């Protein structure tokens, strides 16, 4: 009888140790997910701040160049929409949900944010083409010199391409981070399903 009791106590101690280990692993994984989300959100805030910079400095520069008020207002509206859309989409994933909430809800929120980043290029490219065409039209009508307009717009196009490449790389990094978060949440969910 003593041996049976001793085995039960050992089994209970082992179960308790395993339960503590699972809690530690869950906490560690949630902490890692939270850190990844902070990095992703930081990149979103940097993008938003860059948009605010374009709104203030860019519009001042466009005004100095003599571009129309309609163009300046159009640029302001476009950049404001981009800025607000970025911040709103990042607000979907809450740090509190990652730390203590249902990971299936977190996965859904992360998936929505990922979808925004993946689809952003389908919105950004047409928007940039329209904006750059408008800028070209406006600038040509102010300067009335084809060579000067071509030179200025070529410089703007090269700068825009460099910025676009950097932005595209940044976008891909964010998508990879979000994919990694979804993989980790999926792994946790599979473990939970196997236990249950």
- For residue range 129-160, list pLDDT tens digits in order: 999 999 989 888 888 888 888 888 899 899 98
Question: Is residue 182 within 8 Å of residue 107, measured between CB atoms?
Answer: yes
Q: How far apart are CA 50 and CA 55, in angstroms?
A: 9
Q: Where are the alpha helices (DSSP H) in the chain?
A: 2-53, 59-65, 69-91, 95-100, 103-143, 146-195
Name, in order, each residue with C-beta under 8 angstroms of 135's C-beta and a sequence gap of 6 or more.
Answer: 67, 71, 153, 156
How many CA atoms lie within 13 Å of 54's alpha carbon, on the beta-carbon side?
Answer: 20
Residue with tokens 């989409």: 89
For the cut 70, the answer to whether the pLDDT of residue 186 exceeds it is yes
- Which of the four pLDDT bands, split at 50, 70 and 90, describes residue 127? very high
pTM (two decimals): 0.73
Q: How far apart are CA 10 and CA 20, in angstroms?
A: 15
Please state, as a whole number, how many other Cβ atoms lie within 10 Å of the Cβ of residue 22: 13
- Which of the four pLDDT bands, split at 50, 70 and 90, describes residue 3? low
Q: How confident is the model over 93-112, as pLDDT tens digits? A: 876 677 777 778 888 888 99
């Amino acid at each position: 009888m003593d041996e049976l009791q001793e085995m039960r106590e050992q089994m209970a101690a082992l179960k308790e140790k395993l339960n503590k280990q699972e809690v530690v692993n869950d906490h560690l994984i949630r902490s890692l997910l939270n850190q990844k989300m902070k990095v992703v959100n930081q990149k979103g805030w940097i993008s938003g701040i860059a948009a605010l910079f374009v709104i203030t400095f860019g519009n001042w520069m466009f005004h100095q160049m003599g571009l129309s008020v309609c163009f300046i207002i159009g640029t302001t509206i476009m950049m404001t929409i981009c800025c607000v859309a970025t911040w709103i989409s990042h607000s979907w994933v809450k740090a509190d949900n990652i730390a203590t909430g249902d990971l299936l809800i977190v996965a859904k929120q992360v998936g929505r944010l990922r979808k925004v980043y993946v689809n952003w290029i389908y919105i950004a490219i047409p928007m940039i083409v329209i904006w750059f065409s408008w800028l070209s039209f406006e600038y040509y009508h102010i300067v009335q010199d084809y060579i000067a307009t071509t030179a200025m717009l070529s410089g703007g196009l090269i700068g825009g391409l460099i910025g676009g490449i950097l932005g595209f790389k940044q976008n891909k990094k964010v998508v990879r981070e979000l994919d990694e978060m979804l993989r980790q949440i999926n792994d946790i969910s599979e473990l939970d399903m196997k236990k249950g």
